[in-house]
Chains A and B, each alone.
Chain A
Amino acid sequence: DAGVIQSPRHEVTEMGQEVTLRCKPISGHNSLFWYRQTMMRGLELLIYFNNNVPIDDSGMPEDRFSAKMPNASFSTLKIQPSEPRDSAVYFCASSDVSGANVLTFGAGSRLTVL
Chain B
Amino acid sequence: GEDVEQSLFLSVREGDSSVINCTYTDSSSTYLYWYKQEPGAGLQLLTYIFSNMDMKQDQRLTVLLNKKDKHLSLRIADTQTGDSAIYFCAESHTGTYKYIFGTGTRLKVLA
Interface residues of chain B: helix, strand, loop or mixed (majority): strand
Chain A interface, DSSP helix/strand/loop, else mixed: strand
Tell yes or no: A25 within 8 A of B by CB: no
Q: Interface code A81-114, partner B: CB below 8 Å = 1, 0 otherwise?
A: 0000000000101010100111111111000000
For A55, give its contact among B45, B92, B97 (CB under 8 Å). Answer: B97
Is the beta-carbon distance between B97 and A97 smaller than 8 angstroms?
yes
Chain B interface size, under 10 / 10 to 19 / 20 to 34 / 35 or more = 20 to 34
A positions within 8 Å CB-CB of B = 4, 31, 33, 42-43, 45, 48, 50, 55-56, 91, 93, 95, 97, 100-108
Q: Which residues of B contact A43 (CB under 8 A)?
A: 43, 88, 101
Question: How does the 8 Å CB contact mask read for B20-61 relative to A, with 1 for contact and 0 for none?
Answer: 000000000001010100001111110010100000000000
Closest-by-CB residue of B relative to A98 is: B95
Partner of A91, one of B43, B45, B99, B103: B43
